[in-house]
Structure 1
Amino acid sequence: MALRLVQVNFKARDDSALGRFWAEALGWGTSSEGPGVTNLEPVGFDWPDPTAVCIDLVTVPDPGTVRNRVHLDLATTSAAHQAELVDRLKDLGATPADVGQRDVPWTVLADPEGNVFCVLEPREVYRDTGPIAAVVVDCAEPRAMAGFWGEAMDWTVHETTDDHATMRSAEGVGPYLELIRAPAERSWWNRVHLDLLPFPVEDKEAEVARLRTMGATDLDLGQGDVPWTVLADPEGNEFCVLGRG
């Protein structure tokens, strides 16, 4: 039994419009599994595949005024590429964002609905990740969270310190999952969260039970009767275990 990180889920006021922004930003294709849902993945992608972590955007009525504890870091290959990408993203509707970053080599932006993300300066470690360099999760205790997520998934933990931890798929492809110390208190649910897929998918209930023994807790966000299970990690960050292949 195992779990893999397969997608990042964005709650949106307009899934279609926000989906168009991120599809253009990443150079990905779009599809829809139903009303109010936009799915993004690389063109020609055979889901699920560890070479990419896909994006689902789901329309909800919430105005989205809270600070997310999950964001994306985008990869670049040169200083010129970074500058070109930032300019292109601004043309698509992104705006500069100040999260207290001060003088840093990366650029912090917000998408058209206010979700913050970063355009990184070129880094060798991200040269083969694809357009998304990392999915970043803020947490109070990166070591403890790395222990939870490292045991929860089949991904390999590469580095762990008091301030950050990194992991990547066991195949060594696709983006990294990075846990960054940010002790600000959470006050509400995230508009961006992780979705995990059991393989085989028939092991979903057993995997959910295993996560509960590791410290995950059940979470009711009004999801009703759905094929996925909503849980919170030991720091209260929401995530879903999917029930579809």
Structure 2
Amino acid sequence: MAVGRFWAEALGWSVFRPGVTTYVGPVGGFVWPDPVAVGIDVVPVSEPKTATKNRVHLDLATTSAAHQAELVARLQDLGATPADVGQGKVPWTVLADPEGNEFCVLEPREIYRDTGPIAAVVVDCADPRAMARFWDEAMDWTLHEVTDEHAALRSAKGVGPYLEFLRTPDAKTVPDRVHLDLLPYPGDDKAAEVARLRALGASDLDVGQGDVPWTCLADPEGHEFCVLALS
């Protein structure tokens, strides 16, 4: 719950808590799937975070140098701490939330001026081109850029945060503490969607979830994700 409260205050969002999971989303009513918002679900787990950097993290957007400085200061007041992931001298600031999950507060960038508070969900990977091929087919988002070093997708409506894949030299060694949840559209058949994702290269995943209404899968580089059941 503490991590959920942190992210709600960090983003200016609300906490919705119908059960064990803490749901963090934009203030006011909204209906999923939403074309703009990427909600945050905080799920308690027994394993503490290791010293290994998360391979999935959030980048937060800012509108000016003053806004960036103010946001970094406010986040530290809320419990964030500076993090060193080997970034060296860069114009963005790397922080960690109260449980050590890394995230970045970006300097102002024109590309992120209309994303909302979350500029991008960033995934470390070995092959951005291959990841872009999979996720471009997996979701109905639009591929905006793909190179050997970086790939980016965004909602087909041209709004909200980006999903980005960044080439990194390190390999995946531990389960992701941050992962994507996919929600089928109303009228879609969840089993058919799961079968389609498997055909694209996703593999079945057992993380000890037991008998649950969602399906756990891994993308071609082993990043865990879930396909949720329509409520």
So what's the TM-score if we normalise by structure 1? 0.91
Structure having greater relative contact order (Cα 8 Å, sep ≥ 6): 1
Are 1:21 and 2:6 counterparts? yes
Q: What aligned pairs does 1:133-144 form with structure 2 within 5 A after superposition? A: 133-144=119-130
Partner residue of 2:204 out of 218, 228, 234: 218
Q: What aligned pairs does 1:165-244 form with structure 2 within 5 A after superposition? A: 165-200=151-186, 202-244=188-230
**AA aligned opposite 1:63:** P
Higher mean alpha-carbon deviation, 218-227 vs 62-71, is at 62-71
Matches of 1:118 and 1:33, distance apart in 2: 29
- Let me know the Cα RMSD of the aligned residues: 1.0
Partner residue of 2:40 out of 43, 55, 59: 55
Partner residue of 2:21 out of 27, 37, 41: 37
2:15 alignment partner, SS class: strand
CA contact (8 A) 2:53 2:85 kept: no
Query: Displacement, 1:185?
Result: 1.4
Q: Across the two proteins, how many residue pairs are aligned to each other?
A: 229
Deviations 1:194-221 (A, max 9, x none): 0001113641100100111111000000
Matches of 2:12 and 2:143, distance apart in 1: 28
Deviations 1:180-199 (A, max 9, x none): 00131111211110000111
Q: Sequence identity of aligned pairs in percent? A: 72
CA contact (8 A) 1:201 1:243 kept: no
Q: What aligned pairs does 1:138-153 form with structure 2 within 5 A after superposition? A: 138-153=124-139
Deviations 1:217-244 (A, max 9, x none): 0000000011100000000000000012
Matches of 1:119 and 1:110, distance apart in 2: 10
Structure 2 stretches of 5 or more lacking a match?
A: none
CA contact (8 A) 2:186 2:230 kept: no
Are 1:129 and 2:110 counterparts? no
Q: What aligned pairs does 1:84-123 form with structure 2 within 5 A after superposition? A: 84-123=70-109
Query: Displacement, 1:87?
Result: 0.3
Matches of 2:85 and 2:53, distance apart in 1: 10
Matches of 1:161 and 1:79, distance apart in 2: 29
CA contact (8 A) 2:202 2:220 kept: yes
**AA aligned opposite 1:208:** V
Normalized per residue, the structure richer in strand is 1
So what's the TM-score if we normalise by structure 2? 0.97
Matches of 2:29 and 2:123, distance apart in 1: 25
